[in-house]
Amino acid sequence: MKTKNQTTLVLSILAAFVLIFSSCKKTDSFRNSGKYSVVASRAIKDVEVIISSSGANFQSVMLDVQKVEFKEDLNGSNDDNDYFADADDNMDDHLKTVDDYGQWKSIGQSPKLIDMASLRNGAESLIGDATALYRVRKIRITLGTNNYIIDNAGETHPLRLENDVEKVIYIRIHQDDIDEELALNQQKFHLYFDATNSIKLDNGNYTLDPIVRPFSIKAFGELTGQVFPEDISSVVKIDDGEGNVILAYTEKNGGFKVRGLKEGNNYTVTFEATGYVTQELNSVIMEKGKKTELNAVTLIQ
């Protein structure tokens, strides 16, 4: 027969067990709802920022890249809203590291000079990598003052920035601009530096007004081709029919490659070289995630 003390002990143990079990159920319920579940189930993503260029009619285009950063959401509550940060004004981003639209995170790369003229026809350079827990909304590149070009005669010319605002390049990111490897928890951000339209000659001085656009391999098209004779320097102009013109410069074998082209069926491609008759192709079609290879073009004098 159990004593009164033994009965009291058993009841105390049962009460403690019920309390612990109830606490666990509440914790599980909290984990499976709201903000906590986003954090608990979210995988840290490896973020890579990669830059390429249209090239330009110079031997070198040297950009003094001082810092690369990305802005990610503060939490996962706006994951499904691709346009959440479109109202985020660039003009006040330099005043604070965090605001209602996210927080800035530096990508661990030392300052370096990058020759953008060498990053043409599919060549590219990794300019930063880090980790992100939430969606990346912007990328910011800060330039220094040691930007310059080397022309085809081998002479060096400084690239002058008009003001301090222009040394900071903001690139707004949407879902179509991101290439994801879900199995590797990896995101790649491809940036295209429009060298031709970023550099202007003004009263004998070269000025730099950086134009950088994001693109992804999955949602943008690629155009390739070859221009003969191989030993001439040809320029390929790609007009999307909406006022945007991209220039490509052929390699020594006459080949060229341009990525980051939006889907469309009204592209005009023009082939030019000094001393040769210009040729033009109309109604060239670009498709998402696909490569369009043009037939070889032979220019005649």
Span 116-149, pLDDT tens digits: 999 999 999 999 999 999 999 999 999 999 999 9
- Residue 14, SS3 per DSSP: helix
Q: Is the pLDDT of residue 1 over 60?
A: no
* DSSP-derived pairing of the beta strands 291-293 and 221-228: parallel
Q: Do 196 and 264 meet the contact criterion of CB atoms below 8 Å apart?
A: no
Per-domain residue ranges of the chain:
42-219, 220-301
Helix (H) or strand (E) holding 249: strand 245-249
Percent of the chain predicted with pLDDT > 90: 76
Q: Give CA–CA dist 200/195, Å, rounded.
A: 10
Residue closest to 46 by CA, chosen among 138, 180, 216: 180
pLDDT tens digit string along 176-186?
Answer: 999 999 888 99
User: Which pLDDT band, with edges at 50, 70 and 90, does 236 fall under?
Assistant: very high
pLDDT tens digit string along 48-84?
Answer: 999 999 878 899 999 999 999 999 999 999 999 999 9
Rounded to two decimals, the pTM is 0.84
- Which fold is adopted by the domain 220-301? Immunoglobulin-like (2.60.40)
Give the CA distances from residue 76 to residues 81, 99, 177, 227, in Å, rounded to whole numbers and listed in that order: 10, 15, 19, 49
- Residue 299, SS3 per DSSP: coil
Q: Which amino acid is at 286?
A: M
